[in-house]
Amino acid sequence: MSGPALHLAVELDGDGAHPAAWRRAAHSPDQLLTPRRVARVAAVAENAGFTLITLDDGVLPPGGSPDPVGRIGAVERAAFVAASTSTIGIAPVVPVTYAEPFHVSSQLASLDHISAGRAGWVVAEEEQPGAARAWGRPPVEGAEARARESRDGVTVARALWDSWEDDAVVRSVATSRYLDRDRLHYVDFTGETYAVKGPAIVPRPPQGQLVVLGRPERLSADLLDVALVDGRDVAAVASAAAGAGTPRVFAEVEVALDTPDATGAERVADLERHAPWTDRGRLRHVGPADHLVALLAELGRHVDGVRLRPLVLDEDLPVLSRLVLPALSERRLVARPLPGTSLRSTLGLERPANRFATAAALEDAR
């Protein structure tokens, strides 16, 4: 545990966690992918005091008929949000089942530069066969093979983020030098399915290493900064958190809150007429805001943070902003991110030393 403050993240993809959430949204479906919509929802989350927003993604469109499908890439949305926010952390979901880790690491490093050190990465997997066809690549079949691709992808990205030492950029007008070439390094990674030599094409991120979030059952603890754990009740979440072995642990919680117009149960029932809210083994709260406050306070005894997945963003996010986060703040159970603070600092994580600079220093000391 990082301390008494619970860090709250919120998933902002689409119109909400329910596949038919668009039916209760406060906007017409054609407004979902507009810049104004993306910026407005992110601003609500930042003003409410959330630590982090996440943006789901995948090469295949979400949902299915008769619901609207389609999304803008998470990294592109994250870059846009980074330019319109100032304190909140931003973590796109980026699978590396088929994507090239070299390009992923460059995109995420660029995002950290754009956001001045507020970027994270939620590691996920592409499980549908159609994803391989979309990428034009042979399918990665089986859970272990997908986990291997994720492990290798994160390993490569982390090595590439270190392939530029912090002072590799010189920018000397007098000597016409931009780089100190001795401070750029090959990563020389060789895995089961590919090899990467490096170095990166983007300078080291401001955080040194972005905050990496993922499933502890899919990635080893040494590759993760934040484990995302599930559980249908607090006891199950506590057990999963205890075994994660990562610096920080976030619980996944789905929420459908009572609003002035309808109870959470009524809202769920209304959407269930169109599509089921799939049970993914996560803790789910349906009911009043004060009960959610109590639940989050209890979870705070076992985890460092919670990622909330609202049923319908346009209905649940205002309740979270007006009732839940202020109540938690009054009880000093959460803390708002401070301006000018990196996501790593907000989460109480140290900025890691550069592996190549450290190795060189050790060699010089011998």
Which residue from 335, 254, 234, 242 is spatially nearest to 8, judged by alpha carbons? 335
**Distance from first CA to last CA of the chain, Å, rounded?**
37
Which residue from 231, 234, 252, 255 is spatially nearest to 307, judged by alpha carbons? 252
Q: Is the pLDDT of residue 1 over 80?
A: no
Instruction: Please give the structure tokens belonging to residue 11.
Output: 């998933």
Average pLDDT over residues 296-321: 98
Which residue is associated with the tokens 């709250």?
8
DSSP assignments along 98-161, one per residue: SS-HHHHHHHHHHHHHHTTS-BEEEEE---SHHHHHHHTS----SHHHHHHHHHHHHHHHHHHH
Q: Is the pLDDT of residue 2 over 60?
A: no
Average pLDDT over residues 117-124: 98
Tell whether the torsion through CA atoms of 6, 247, 74 and 354 is positive or negative.
positive
Q: Which of 34-38, 42-46, 256-260, 263-267 has the lowest mean pLDDT?
A: 34-38
Q: Which residue has the higher pLDDT, 71 or 265?
A: 265
pTM above 0.75, yes or no: yes
Residue 281 and residue 236: Cα distance in Å, rounded?
10
Largest CA distance in the chain: 71
Q: Is the pLDDT of residue 326 over 50?
A: yes
Residue 325: what residue type?
L
Q: Is the pLDDT of residue 68 over 70?
A: no
Which residue is associated with the tokens 């909140």?
88
Average pLDDT over residues 79-97: 97
- Highest mean pLDDT range out of 33-37, 127-131, 223-227? 223-227
- 271-290 tens-digit pLDDT: 999 999 999 999 999 999 99
DSSP state of 203: P
The pLDDT-based confidence of 358 (bands split at 50, 70, 90) is: confident
Residues of the chain above pLDDT 70, percent = 96
